Structure 1
Amino acid sequence: MKTIMGALGVSLLATCALAEGALHKVAIHVNQNDPAVLNMALNNVQNLNAYYMEQGDNVEIELVAYGPGLNMFVPGKSPVADRVSTMGLEMENLKFSACGNTLQKMSAKAGADIVLMDEAQVVPSGVVRLIELQQQGYAYVRP
């Protein structure tokens, strides 16, 4: 009886998971301050989101920026600021992570604190964040 219930329980869990749609997790790496690369990364986000929505699946996306790519989140310097703001409002499944190491170095070089867009959350290290996400099962994409 225990084996039948165990198999039945697993089967029911699998059916519920399929009914809710699969969960996909994607980390996108940005370390260049090239408008074409920044736009391609945001295009990747939009395309991934649209694809999985059409499939009835769910997707969690985290875009991690460090080095020159951190300019993506600097007001007045970001060539994609409007897109970041819009996507941040429209997509609850999207996180923007900014490297704290890069932010400290940029602030020291500027002689003042660099303020980032509200959409960006600061993480201690962009590289470490990418490793953590991959260890959590996130697929890795670098445009």
Structure 2
Amino acid sequence: MLRRLALAFCLVLTVPVTAVLAAGAQHKLAIHVDQNDPAVMNMALNNAQNVQAYYNAKGESVEIEIVAYGPGLVMLREDKSPVRDRIAAMSLEIPSLAFSACGNTHSAMSKAEGKEVPLMSEATLVPSGVVRLMELQEEGFSYVRP
């Protein structure tokens, strides 16, 4: 009798896990940009497009967040981004793609320039880029630095 109860208990625990695996796993990717280099910015965007296309072809979903801080914040500046048009297009094509701008860097740049640094409408200001990357990893995001 004890064996039957143990077997029934094991089945109850494995059914939800099996059902989740059969339904397709949710994938999550954090991409880090900390360089004011158009090649690095384009590589990050290429990574996002390729990952999204890969999982889309498999019928699986993926959530992608690009986090920019330090010199990499130029990627998300409305006035200076060398990839502004590409970000605008990708945001429309990939609804699960998010862009986070470091608040610490934004404040420092604004202070140095004596005016508020304009960010692209696609960017969300977060308090700290490094902290955001930590939080994403703690939430199960895989981490890539192009």
Which TM-score applies when normalising by structure 2? 0.89
> Which structure 1 residue ranges, 5 or more long, are not aligned?
none
Matching residue of 1:96: 99
* Cα distance, 1:110 vs structure 2: 1.0
Which range moved further: 95-104 or 49-58?
A: 49-58
CA root-mean-square deviation: 1.5
Pairing partner for 1:129 from 118, 129, 132: 132
**Runs of 4+ with >3 A deviation:** 1-12
Indicate conservation of the 8 Å contact 2:68/2:101, yes or no.
yes
1:65-121: CA deviations, max 9, x gaps? 001110111123111001111111221211100000000011111111111011000
1:26-68: CA deviations, max 9, x gaps? 1100001111110000000000111112222221111000011
Q: Residue type matched to 1:85 in 2?
A: A
* Cα distance, 1:4 vs structure 2: 5.1
SS in 2 for 1:33: coil
SS in 2 for 1:109: helix
Pairing partner for 1:111 from 114, 117, 126: 114
1:138 aligns with 2:132: no
Q: Residue type matched to 2:102 in 1?
A: C
User: Residues 33-72 of structure 1 correspond to what in structure 2 (within 5 A)?
Assistant: 33-72=36-75
Q: Residue type matched to 2:100 in 1?
A: S
Q: Residue type matched to 1:58 in 2?
A: S
Q: Residue type matched to 2:92 in 1?
A: L
Mapped partners of 1:117, 1:34: distance in 2: 17
- Count of paired positions: 143
Question: How many percent identity over aligned positions?
Answer: 57
